[in-house]
Structure 1
Amino acid sequence: MKIQEIREIIKLVDQSSIDEFSYEFDGVKVKMKKNASNPSQPAVQSKVVEAPAQTPAPSAPKQVESVESAPTEQPVQTETAEAGNASNEDLHKILSPMVGTFYQSPSPEEEAYVAVGTKVSADQVVCIVEAMKLFNEIEAEVDGEIAEILVKDGQLVEYGQPLFLVKAN
């Protein structure tokens, strides 16, 4: 299951009147429950559990990813594009699927996944968002070219916050 699919499910559950949702397919379990304790700030809590591979290595533990996000309507803070860039309406926004810390590279010693002007494919990893000690790879979602990076390395990002602007092909 791709992160984009999980994002879509979170949005649908948040916008619906259902309080709980669970889904299981091919060893992957997704369970989401709305936080009913504070109705003024609805929150969707989701948990993704992936079964271990058919022939796991002796040291390969079961992967568990837990994501908590608060998909509330909040103003989004973005930097304005420079005068030479195309208008933001023509650009695809890559949004953060969760609250966490944005990282441009897999480790401090390595180069950033992408820079302004980098050509990307839809399934290419463009950054990592760390949430609760789990590093979640974020994909470009579209084929195109990175037009602008809207956040700084190590910056805290919110659910739904734009991370990149991509000039789609």
Structure 2
Amino acid sequence: MQQKPCKPVSTSVTTLTELMIPSYANFGGKIHGGILLSLMDKVAYACASKHAGRYCVTVSVDTVDFRLPVEVGDLVSLQASVNYVGRTSLVVGIRVTAENVTTGEIKHTNTSYFTMVAKHEDGSLAEVPCLLLESREDVRRFLESIKRKELKNTYKQELNNAKTSLHIEEELYKLEGERCQITGNNLT
């Protein structure tokens, strides 16, 4: 099977902009994080699908840190670009900004990375075009994606090792100073 030609990052850059309305607010009067996550998922899908030329699904979301709150009335813009491609997967970087339309103030509220995979109509994985890196920024983002992938794999491996080698009795001292209590004698 012949490999698809590479596509430049610029061909799939996608921006989604939406006005934040009162029904999007949480009990604290700020925009609910779930609304923002839903918008991020939509823009990641659009960006990945433009690059892949087919249906894509979300397989993981890395670090959604809510840096600043989003207010009712803000105009939220989510800019997405493909930062990395594997054989069937793509990492889409998303930058979220909120603009106060009356003052013109723009604040960076979120950055996140969505890993997407491309699918054939029958649901099987589909190969994606390679990524044509046209700028230093494109190269930096691709390399950072590789580093995040390496760190994620190292973390998973270390966590699995910790699960298999964890001896509760030997680790109880780590609970000192933590906000927890142990009740009962069922530690064995």
- TM-score class, shorter: under 0.3
Greater helix share, structure number: 2
Normalising by structure 1, report the TM-score.
0.25
Greater strand share, structure number: 1
Higher relative contact order (CA 8 A, sep 6+): 2
Tell which structure's C-alpha radius of gyration is larger: 2
